[in-house]
Amino acid sequence: MFRSFIAATCVAIFLAGTAGAQEKWENPVRKVLAEGKPAIGATITVNSVDVAAHMANSGFDFLWVELEHSPISWETLRNMVLATRGLKAMPFVRVPVNELWTAKRALDTGALGVIFPFTSTPELARQAVAACKYPPEGKRGSGPGLASFRWPAPDESYHAFANRNVMVIAIIEDQSGVDHVDEIAAVPGIDVIFIGPSDLSWQLAGGDGNSPKVKEATEKIIAAAKRHKKVLGRPGGSAEDVKRFMEQGFRFFQGPSELGMMRSGARPLLDPLDKRGIDPKTKSLY
């Protein structure tokens, strides 16, 4: 009886160990989206590792590290990736331009998602995917360095790990992108079709986000993403916004910036005391 118990225990331990070894790590953002839940990112715009680290453990699913519209340097990005190791939010990067080298630099720091602005043609969409995938799936150059340290994968090569886990987000924010959105959404490897409403409204209607042209373009983008079973993304500034947009099919959200949250967080303290800064709409700052 005792020998049978020992044998059964050993078999159970072996099977448990085997099952654990076969279970590969998966990008939590991808898992959240697969479950039909919203993935919300905090937008990082200041050149501060401390800010990125605090935001990474505030509950957000990912960090939207802004390299297109902010002074964040490649060096600071590397430090942010290191500082957020083990914290909840995954590091994603909006690169300044859709080029192989910009995606390469972002990924080699350890980013798990690359956000490509002005994805205006299917050629640019294919280039975005190629920049994020190692051969034979793409053209990413092999020199991961920090990325392989940030994401150790003992049961597979970093290259295989990255091809499974790196996400590709294509932003549609001009007329050409709208015109080609069906072809863009059809590109294999594009994970998220993201609407850039600010640029889209300026490109199509001089900044009028309520213009019929903008609404028509938005509906066309939504339809194409759904037709090709791509996740829909857009900015979401509040819980109410996120819930409303989810009803339209959106699940990937760019949340407010740390500076925006800092300003809004100060208001409950200062408003009741009638303390305000200078309003540049009523008084010049110079």
- Domain for residue 61, yes or no? yes
pLDDT of the residue at 22: 57
- Domain for residue 197, yes or no? no
Give how far Cα 181 sits from Cα of 224, 231, 262, Å: 6, 14, 36
pLDDT of the residue at 9: 45
- Domain for residue 271, yes or no? no
Task: Determine contact, residues 186/123, Cβ cutoff 8 Å.
Answer: no
Task: Determine contact, residues 152/195, Cβ cutoff 8 Å.
Answer: no
- Domain for residue 32, yes or no? yes
pLDDT of the residue at 145: 84
- Domain for residue 248, yes or no? yes
Which residue is catalytic, options 54, 69, 180, 228?
69
Q: What is the DSSP string of 183-240?
A: HHHTSTT--EEEE-HHHHHHHHHTT-TT-HHHHHHHHHHHHHHHHTT-EEEEE--SHH
- Domain for residue 224, yes or no? no
pLDDT of the residue at 3: 54
Q: Say which CATH number the domain at 138 has.
A: 3.20.20.60
When computed from its CA atoms, the radius of gyration of the chain, rounded to whole angstroms, is: 22
- The total domain count for the chain is 1
Question: Which parts of the chain register pLDDT below 70?
Answer: 1-22
- Domain for residue 270, yes or no? no
- Domain for residue 192, yes or no? no
Is-catalytic flag, 69?
A: yes
Three-state DSSP state, 65: strand
Task: Determine contact, residues 48/70, Cβ cutoff 8 Å.
Answer: no
Domain range for 58: 26-164+234-258
Give how far Cα 104 sits from Cα of 16, 59, 100, 118, 142, Å: 38, 28, 6, 18, 9
Dist. CA 115–CA 123, nearest whole Å: 16
